[in-house]
Amino acid sequence: MSNYSRRDFIKASGSILGAGALGSSIFGCRKKEIPASSEWGGFNYAMCNESMSELSWAEQCQIVGNAGYKGVEIASFTLVKEGVQEISPAERKQMVTVMKNNGLECAGLHWLLAPPPKGLHFTTPDAAVRQKTIAYFDELIDFCGDLGGPYMIFGSPKQRNTRGIAVEEAKKYFTEGFAKVADHAQERGVKILIEPLGKRTTDVVNTLAEALALAEQVNHPAIQIMFDFNNTVDETEPFDVLLRKYFNHIYHVHVQEMGGKHLGTGTAVKGRIQ
């Protein structure tokens, strides 16, 4: 897709919700985080940078800002060759400046453990791999904090699959890993949000109920949950019911068609989002 057609496409898709639609997320939506003296001004919409990964950071932010979004959600693997430690403190500050110059803020990180680096896995029984993964996760927390991002979306289906062990054992490693990084996340002002994913992509944590149970087991304010419209395939209740049921625990929302494509290519806007 050419730069020109990409800009037109993102701008057009952004008009569907008035502020954002393509690979979009709703962030800054926790009412309890708003000062008592302020009125809630509605949702802020962000777009992930992954669809523009071949462009420079400045070009990405310009396109997203011009389309009317207020934030950018970052897939960090698109920015590095080996890992986020490559991005120096000065470069991180420059990334923040570029966002601000385009009227944007960092909505957070997603695809946390997608390579590079290779070989990471959060729920493996291999203790050495888990230790390596948690060490890199701490690097991601600092990267997110340096960019001012409030949330880290833990999807990464391949890096949490059971790989032959029991699901309950994988969940045990999941909670142990979160417990090890939670204090660091809180110190950096970052919340780690467990993203339920469909069984088509992972066999560990497929519903909001499972995600909440995991978060409650860790029992730390830095470990919370989020909601993704595209990943409700294994839920037994309609997503509007789920939103009401889990509202007090949801800190972030991903909005897209059920097939994963951008809004407007299916029936989600006409049927539900008004």
Strands (E), the chain: 24-27, 44-48, 71-75, 105-110, 151-154, 191-194, 223-228, 250-255
Other CB atoms closer than 10 Å to residue 79's CB: what's the count? Answer: 17
pLDDT score recorded for residue 10: 41
CA–CA separation, 67 and 62 (whole Å)? 9
pLDDT score recorded for residue 107: 97
The 10s digit of each residue's pLDDT in 14-31 is: 433 333 334 567 775 454
The 10s digit of each residue's pLDDT in 219-261 is: 999 999 999 887 788 899 987 899 899 999 999 999 876 666 5
5 — pLDDT class (breaks 50, 70, 90) = very low
Determine contact, residues 190/152, Cβ cutoff 8 Å. Answer: yes
pLDDT score recorded for residue 114: 98
Q: Which residues of 236-249 are buried (b: 16+ CB within 10 A; e: fewer)?
A: eeebeebeeebeeb
pLDDT above 70: percentage of residues in the chain: 80
The 10s digit of each residue's pLDDT in 179-224 is: 999 999 999 999 999 999 999 999 999 999 999 999 999 999 999 9
CATH of domain 3-28+41-271: 3.20.20.150
Residue 256's Cβ-count burial label (10 Å; 0-12, 13-18, 19+) is buried
Sign, CA dihedral 168-245-25-142, equals: negative
The 10s digit of each residue's pLDDT in 141-157 is: 999 999 999 999 999 99
Least reliable range by pLDDT among 32-36, 115-119, 174-178, 270-274? 270-274
Torsion (CA) 249, 135, 130, 217 in degrees, nearest 10: -20
CA–CA separation, 114 and 112 (whole Å)? 6
